[in-house]
Amino acid sequence: MADKISISNLNFFYGKDQALYDITLGIPEREVVAFIGPSGCGKSTFIRTLNRMNDTIPIASVNGEVIIDGQDIYSPNTDVVALRRKVGMVFQKSNPFPKSIFENVAYGVRINGIHSSKADLTERVEKALRDAALWDEVKDRLTTSAFGLSGGQQQRLCIARALAVEPEVILMDEPASALDPIATQKIEELVVELKKQYTIVIVTHNMQQAARVSDRTAFFMLGKLVEYNRTQKMFTNPEEKLTEDYITGRFG
């Protein structure tokens, strides 16, 4: 099967400082790929190249190819807005909008004009909240502020918000790093559940989390891709000495 996303020879710069060196890897459809590595290794930078979030940084520049469904997303005729609708993102810190719970989820649907009617919008919001395993907790207070939710709920709300625009790929940048173990477990279960429909890329600091949720793992260090392998192999019998040292906690 062809890869959903295929990245080749990707270099990334913040001004003159190179943050990513010659990254080449493929992400298969409907699998979970985890990016691990020590802080500052470039994994967050890398995940943000996949929906061109780095465009907002004026001094950033990129060369190489990121091909999603056969289309180079860095070619001049790529519509960034359409790209971001197709490749959704969940951030490290939950970032609900200063709106009601309902409006948070409805926002992406509204701006993209996906819904056909008001009833359709309501339906889509409910479905997204159900898919994010949040519906039962918020169904009675959809009109209240999103800031009233707990941290874990806010993060699932952000996932629901991303799901509502019906993306094909979901990027998660350390989605559980600010959450307690129970909320983290919920997010992880959700990732496994969402894999049935979506291609998921997840950055994580938590190696056990990568081992639990992902099919493949990529290990980054100092802006370079050290090893990319099936997760099971990566965590039992890595090919690179560096990977083994990191996973076993010999440095990091």
Partner 1 sequence: MALQKAQVHNKRLSVNWIMTTVTALCALFVTSVLLFIIGYIAYRGISSLSIEFLIDTPKPVGEGGGIGNAIVGSAMMTLLASLIGLPIGIAAGVYLAEFGKHWYGSIIRFVADTLIGIPSIIIGIFIYTLVVMPMGRQSGFAGGLALAIIMIPIVARTTEEMIKLVPNSMREGALALGAPQWRVSWDIVLPAAASGIATGAMLAIARITGETAPLLFTALNSRFYNFYYDQPMSSLTVQIYNYATGPFEIEHAMAWAATLLLVGLILTINIAVRFLTRKKY
Binding residues for partner 1, rule: CB under 8 A, are: 51, 53, 56, 58, 81-85, 88-89, 91, 93, 95-99, 107-108, 111-112, 158, 161-162, 165
With CA atoms as reference, report the closest residue to 164 among 234, 217, 112. Answer: 112
* Least spacing, CB of residue 128 vs partner 1, in Å: 12
Rounded CA separation 210/217 (Å): 7
Residue nearer to partner 1 on the CB measure, 4 or 216: 4
Residue nearer to partner 1 on the CB measure, 190 or 234: 190
User: In residues, how long is the chain?
Assistant: 252
* Least spacing, CB of residue 162 vs partner 1, in Å: 7
* Least spacing, CB of residue 27 vs partner 1, in Å: 18
Residue nearer to partner 1 on the CB measure, 160 or 234: 160
SS3 string of 27-85? EECCCEEEEECCCCCCHHHHHHHCCCHHHHCCCEEEEEEEEECCEECCCCCCCHHHHHH
Residue nearer to partner 1 on the CB measure, 106 or 221: 106
- Which pairing describes strands 71-72 and 60-68: parallel, antiparallel, or unpaired? antiparallel
**Structure tokens that stand for 133 in this block:** 């395993």
* Least spacing, CB of residue 211 vs partner 1, in Å: 27
Residue nearer to partner 1 on the CB measure, 66 or 162: 162
* Least spacing, CB of residue 120 vs partner 1, in Å: 18
- Percent of residues in the chain assigned helix, strand, coil, to nearest 5: 40, 25, 35
Helix (H, G, I), strand (E, B) or coil at 181: helix
